Amino acid sequence: MPDTLTTDPGRDTDSVWIPAQSTTVGADNDYPEEGPSKTVSVDGFWIQKHQVTNTQYAEFVSATGYVTVAERPLDPADYPGAPATNLQPGSMVFHRTAGPVDLRHLSQWWTWTPGASWQHPRGPRSSVRGRENHPVVHIAYEDAVAYADWSGQALPTEAEWEVAARGGLDRATYTWGDEPERADQKLANYWHGEFPYLPDKGYGQTTPVGSFPANGYGLFDMAGNVWEWTADFYGEDRSTTPCCGTESYDPSQPQFAIPRRVVKGGSFLCADSYCMRYRPSARRPQMVDTGMSHIGFRCIRR
């Protein structure tokens, strides 16, 4: 069996080996969806050290001609009552607000933007030039699966992702240990400054992958930068395991019959004042057809 930190032989996937193990995942004293904590057993697997970058995704698209979900027109039948402008190809783009806002209303900083996609992350006139090594964003679930298939990989389960993110630290709160980041440290790309209008210098957007220290397994950005897709359907807590997509629909939006999968790791938008989810046990549901400015992925191989 390969050792931890061994580079994947013969493959250009930049991966490390996570040893088989039984590990506690979830947490009982954070957001309710993170509990109850439980022990999971995983077989060993390879996982990419970095989130998939714009350069890597561009290689896939140029080799295959793949068109992402955000670049395809939407079917009005799937979105009853939606305005026509929302049915053009596009994605949800984060914009800083002009000043302090009521944090209950996230439509103030999320804007449906026709023409936004992985190639135009901030809208039709933006590009990925200068952001080649940033994580690819505006990636829907099937866009991530398509890349994984093409590269001979797969998406992790939530358990695999979390075991990898923990880096061998038993039940630690953060990927780096139990203590929050100190003022003299820079441990992850989560929101530093006033959310959502005044980030500190160097924060408030994606950063090139690997800009912050690796965890105990040599993995970068397992906390923050962008959320990462996992293969698991979302259940309301860690004891709920939906059989299938229909059990993962959003009960508060019954008009949308769209499966939701678990995303992990938090993003550059996680602010301590708003969303402390740049932790291994944290999780969010994401509709499978919806990429956003803060959602990307990385792959594994079993």
Q: What token pair was written down for 34?
A: 């993170």
- What one-letter code names the amino acid at 84? A
Cβ-based neighbour number of residue 168 at 10 Å: 15
Min separation Cβ 298 and Cu ion, Å: 18
From the CB of 66, what's the least distance to Cu ion, in Å?
Answer: 28
Nearer residue to Cu ion within complex by CB, 275 or 299: 275
The verdict on 192 binding Cu ion (CB under 5 A) reads: no
Q: Closer to Cu ion at the Cβ: 294 or 298?
A: 294
The nearer residue to Cu ion, 120 or 279, going by C-beta atoms, is 279
CB of 264 to Cu ion, least distance (A): 11
Bridge partners (DSSP) of residue 264 are 228, 283
Stretch that binds Cu ion, among 58-66, 78-86, 239-247, 275-283 (CB under 5 A): 275-283
| CB of residue 284 to Cu ion, shortest distance in Å | 7
x-or-dash string of contact with Cu ion, 113-142, rule CB under 5 A: ------------------------------
Task: For residue 275, state whether it binds Cu ion (rule: CB under 5 A).
Answer: yes
Cα distance between residue 77 and residue 84, in whole Å: 12
Task: Identify which of 223, 213, 225 has the alpha carbon closest to the alpha carbon of residue 269.
Answer: 225
Nearer to Cu ion, 241 or 273 (CB): 273
Distance of CA 45 to the CA centre of its chain: 19
Of 266, 191, 187, the C-alpha closest to 226 is: 266
Considering beta carbons, is residue 238 or 294 the nearer one to Cu ion?
294
Determine if 223 is a binding residue for Cu ion (CB under 5 A): no
Closest separation between CB of residue 90 and Cu ion, Å? 22
Q: Which is nearer to Cu ion, 236 or 274 (CB)?
A: 274
Q: Which is nearer to Cu ion, 17 or 229 (CB)?
A: 229
The nearest distance, CB 283 to Cu ion, in angstroms, is 11
Chain residues 254-273 in contact with Cu ion, contact rule CB under 5 A: 266, 270
Query: Using CA atoms, how far apart are residues 207 and 183, in angstroms rounded to an integer?
Result: 19
Member of 120, 238, 261, 277 binding Cu ion (CB under 5 A): 277
From the CB of 154, what's the least distance to Cu ion, in Å?
25
Closest CB to Cu ion among 18 and 292?
Answer: 292
In the complex, minimum distance from the CB of residue 270 to Cu ion, in angstroms, rounded to a whole number: 3
Residues touching Cu ion, count (CB under 5 A): 4
Residue ranges binding Cu ion (CB under 5 A): 266, 270, 275, 277
